């Protein structure tokens, strides 16, 4: 494939979970956020809350950004222009997710270019209302994801990804062959085993119920890990729906 400094930075990106004591300057933070704002937005329905409370930031990173889907400021502007919002909240929220995630990716790559690393924290929607109270968020603002950031104190390798033919389909979605599925699984599993990722971080998910454990860290890898994560995690849909309701969204 082709190569240039931007492609190289993207291909070498990895999540960082150990950080030095160096604090990003205000100028660095402003640069990262402004680069984020240049993402291809639908309606600029994203707002950020910056925290420097290192003791309460995951992985003791020096800073974190809470990305929020923000319909409040959109509706404030619409009101000043004499318009009522009539779009349904599901579609509106999907547009807000796009805005937030695109902004986040721009910020990740801007940080990489300035020598910083980062890591996404994904369980935020289940904690939306407590976070809204903590940060005084108005209704119609929904915390979506947290991005922690700082100067890396580790240099892990980039993690494996599926082969291109398991991701890119031309003209139509294919019917996967057994060989194609097995090859995709092999790429992921052998890649993670070669990096000793799960053993080094003691990351094996324990089995629930009456399933018998047949894996060790010599065999446990990505496909089993991701299957256990989504085959055992059963968080309440009512709880999540309640978070949307408390934030003023009818989902």
Residue 245 lies in a domain: no
- 11 & 94 share domain: yes
- 88 & 125 share domain: yes
- 105 & 221 share domain: no
pLDDT value of residue 18? 97
Residue 251 lies in a domain: no
Taking CA atoms, 85 is separated from 92, 144, 190, 196, in Å, by: 10, 21, 50, 51
- 97 & 33 share domain: yes
Domain final residue, candidates 123, 138, 155: 155
Which pTM was predicted? 0.93
pLDDT value of residue 234? 83
Residue 250 lies in a domain: no
What confidence tens digit (pLDDT) does each residue in 199-238 have? 999 999 999 999 999 999 999 999 999 999 999 988 889 9
DSSP secondary structure string, 132-146?
Answer: HHHHTPPTTEEEEEE
Can you give the residue range of the structural domain that contains 201? 164-232
CB 49 within 8 A of CB 65: yes
Residue 189 lies in a domain: yes
Q: How many domains does the chain have?
A: 2
Residue 103 CB neighbours (<10 A): 26
- 22 & 68 share domain: yes
What confidence tens digit (pLDDT) does each residue in 179-195 have? 999 999 999 999 999 99
- 101 & 207 share domain: no
Angstrom distance (rounded) from CA 4 to CA 16: 23
- 144 & 35 share domain: yes
Find the CATH number of the domain harbouring 16. 3.40.109.10
pLDDT value of residue 236? 83
174 sits in which H/E element: none
CB 60 within 8 A of CB 20: no
- 150 & 183 share domain: no
- 35 & 144 share domain: yes
pLDDT value of residue 52? 97
Which residues of the chain fall short of a pLDDT of 70? none
């Amino acid at each position: 494939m082709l190569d240039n400094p931007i492609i190289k930075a993207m291909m070498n990106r990895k999540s960082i979970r150990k950080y030095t004591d160096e604090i990003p300057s205000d100028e660095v933070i402003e640069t990262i956020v402004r680069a984020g704002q240049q993402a291809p937005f639908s309606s600029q329905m994203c707002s950020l809350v910056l925290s420097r409370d290192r003791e309460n930031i995951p992985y003791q990173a020096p800073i974190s950004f809470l990305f929020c889907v923000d319909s409040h400021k959109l509706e404030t502007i619409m009101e000043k222009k004499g318009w009522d919002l009539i779009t349904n909240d599901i579609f509106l929220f999907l547009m807000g997710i796009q805005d937030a995630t695109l902004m986040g990716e721009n910020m990740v790559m801007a940080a990489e270019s300035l020598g910083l690393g980062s890591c996404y924290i994904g369980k935020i929607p289940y904690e939306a209302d407590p976070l809204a109270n903590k940060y005084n968020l108005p209704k119609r603002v929904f915390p979506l994801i947290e991005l922690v950031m700082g100067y890396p104190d580790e240099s892990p390798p980039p993690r494996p990804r599926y082969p291109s033919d398991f991701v890119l389909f031309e003209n139509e979605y294919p019917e996967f062959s057994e060989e194609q599925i097995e090859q995709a699984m092999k790429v992921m599993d052998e890649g993670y085993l070669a990096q000793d990722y799960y053993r080094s971080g003691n990351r094996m998910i324990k089995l629930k119920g009456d399933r018998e454990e047949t894996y060790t860290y010599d065999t446990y890898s990505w496909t089993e890990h991701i299957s256990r994560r989504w085959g055992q995690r059963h968080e309440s849909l009512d709880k999540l729906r309640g978070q949307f309701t408390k934030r003023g969204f009818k989902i």
